[in-house]
Structure 1
């Protein structure tokens, strides 16, 4: 399937928009404070069309991190709530397909287009978009319904404060991350869209 037009039923994937991220210090430096509101708008529009929404949560069992289910943060961020009957899948890989039955669900529902939203832009969201494209889905990547955080240089010392990370000129800024993701996906793996594009009414 090509990535430049819609060919049928779509599914909205809400990837890792979970309380785990709000427990991290770098949440204060998120690229998109409106991510929850924009995801909510996409969810409302998708439901209004009678098309499916699938919720994905990331889990790292036994890790002791904020993604360890024992910590209790593996749930949608406050303000977002799966409706009755909407699948909630738990993944342990970066992309939403490899460690879940997502592809089976989409096949059963006759889905042709995958709409991507969530956290983090360049990690789980971008990786899911690439896999979905390789699996033959038309992919729409809604950048302003994703969010990410600054990335430290690979040689940066561990355990630095957020202020130290942000002050380091080698830190990759969120603007740079988002731009690189869009450049990598557009025309190859996905169509880039905005929340307004997908929620506009005629």
Structure 2
């Protein structure tokens, strides 16, 4: 085992946001579970990562009860669950130590948000010398508002704004930015053979 699957932020917090209705991959749990089953069959390490923001009062504050994996994702004994407070899974955790102790040099990245925590983790992992595969269809994201958009708009207003970046545009941009520089881009089917 010199490979690990990182499952980043596939947590209930995101399902509590209005933007969840516009998520790019409503079957994120199913796609992640295919990768998890394959990783377990290959005897690869599965690392579960959740994001917290203690004291914020929002859905990422553990006091609210949403900082937990989405139903249908079930870690088994020996699979670490790591809590992070930064966009990437390395800076505020012991992830690199855990991977180094186990001799892991290859990573498969999945999770929520494609262009945020997943992409940032991929870039940092590449800089740290890991061989990274980015499983795009096992990631998910939401439309992104233009930087000059007014705050507090409804999802319908966000989606109606022609300046809003669509999920397809975000995913394509992420693949262009990562491919050949920081990671290999692959689908769940390419990785699992099914």
Q: TM-score, normalised by structure 1?
A: 0.95
Runs of 4+ in 1 over 3 A off after TM superposition: none
Match of 2:186 in 1: 193
**2: CA distance, partners of 1:190 / 1:26:** 28
Q: How many residues align?
A: 194
3-state SS, counterpart of residue 10 of structure 2: coil
Q: Does 1:52 align with 2:45?
A: yes
Out of 64, 68, 71, the position equivalent to 2:64 is: 71
**1: CA distance, partners of 2:44 / 2:130:** 16
Out of 10, 17, 28, the position equivalent to 2:21 is: 28
Q: Unmatched 5+ residue regions in structure 1?
A: 1-7
Q: Does 1:145 align with 2:161?
A: no
* More relative contact order, 1 or 2 (CA 8 Å, 6+ apart): 1
Match of 1:4 in 2: none
**2: CA distance, partners of 1:34 / 1:75:** 17
**1:138-183 residue CA offsets vs partner (Å, 9 max, x unmatched):** 0000000000000001111111100000000010000000000000
**2: CA distance, partners of 1:169 / 1:192:** 28
Instruction: State the 1:198 CA deviation.
Output: 1.1
Out of 152, 155, 160, the position equivalent to 1:159 is: 152
Q: Does 1:128 align with 2:121?
A: yes
3-state SS, counterpart of residue 124 of structure 1: helix
3-state SS, counterpart of residue 136 of structure 2: strand
